[in-house]
Amino acid sequence: MGLRDLNAKKWEKSLIARTQSNSSIVDTLVHMKCTKQAIAAFNFSLLTVIVTFLILSLGLDYWVYTIEPRTVNITDDFGDYMEFLQIYHLGYWRICRESFMDADENMTKVQLEYLSHDTSSKYSCLFVMGVANADVLISFGVTSGAIANRMLLMLALHFIALLLTFVGFGFTINGYLKSNKQSIFAAVIHIAAGICISVCIMQFVCVVEDEMSARVKPTAEGEPSKYKSYYGISFFLIATCFVLLQISTLAELKIFLLPYSSTNDTLVIVPGLKRRLMTSIRQPAPLFYIPQDVDSTGAI
């Protein structure tokens, strides 16, 4: 037997072993049942991700990016004041900005020197909570400052949603361990948290559209607007939380209903269902009496 035959046999054995291993994993996934333990583990992991995303979106200042022009004390070849573009990103706590140049824009030596010494063109941030006047925010960034000034309601809804998610998480754990009705309470609480998140998302979208809709239109000369905006990672994190909360609610309902698989158990846990079922299957009484025909002898 040559070396080539030995290598071929080793390769064949390893291929058979890998095939058996892969088939066992596939069989496990195919035949895996949705037991109470599996659903609970999935739900706990899901809620952990939701809480993490809510905290990240609360702390990060990447809800939306805006691009705004800023007029500087430099004239171009035609004697008009130039505009530098600044990109902003903002959140609940602060607004940050930094100047950037278009790739097609050619700067003179004087303009580049001015840009290098201009402090407002460098990366800087302004803390929203430390500003008492909204005019300071707007002077820092016209559009981004106006958006940040209108995010206070969103912040309150975000905190409420995070608190409800935490409380529902506790009810979920207790309901799973004690097999009681707290799982259904957790589902109701998480539905309320989802409502808060949905209102928060709609509020933010309306604020951004309200502030940007008039500015993104072309100018009177027909030139395209220099204002732009696009949503950041914080927005997509909280939007993902809304979807995951709905899945978590379904998992909690499933955990609650698993012990009540039979019809009799369902009649016990749903208040008034047994009475309604008995009423529906009961034969209704006739609306009026119809006498039978009687002949002359009195027989029917």
| CATH number for the domain harbouring residue 124 | 1.20.140.150
pLDDT of residue 29: 47
pLDDT of residue 124: 82
Report whether pLDDT(300) > 70: no
Q: In what order do the strands lie in the sheet with 124-127?
A: 124-127, 94-100, 81-90, 64-75, 228-231
Q: How many CB atoms lie within 10 A of CB 209?
A: 11
Assigned domain for 85 exists: yes
Report whether pLDDT(285) > 80: no
Helix, strand or coil, per DSSP, at residue 6: helix
**Residue appearing with tokens 């303009």:** 111
Report whether pLDDT(145) > 80: yes
Give the residue, 262 or 199, on which the prediction is more confident. 199
Assigned domain for 102 exists: yes
Assigned domain for 239 exists: yes
Assigned domain for 75 exists: yes
The residue among 193, 188, 130 whose CA lies nearest residue 157 is 193
Assigned domain for 77 exists: yes
pLDDT of residue 16: 58
pLDDT mean over 113-124? 67
Assigned domain for 203 exists: yes
Task: Kindly state the tokens that stand for 29.
Answer: 């996934």
Report whether pLDDT(26) > 60: no
Give the residue, 69 or 168, on which the prediction is more confident. 168
Q: What's the pLDDT tens digit per position in 206-221?
A: 999 998 888 888 877 7
Report whether pLDDT(241) > 60: yes
Residues listed for the chain: 300
For helices 182-212 and 142-149, the axis angle rounded to 10 degrees is 150
What is the model's pTM? 0.72
Per the rule left: phi > 0, alpha: psi between -120 and 50, beta: everything else, 37 is: alpha
Lowest-confidence pick of 67-81, 144-158, 168-182: 67-81
Report whether pLDDT(165) > 70: yes
Assigned domain for 144 exists: yes
For the chain, how many structural domains are there in total? 1
Assigned domain for 282 exists: no
Q: What domain range includes position 98? A: 57-259
Lowest-confidence pick of 134-143, 148-157, 165-174, 272-281: 272-281
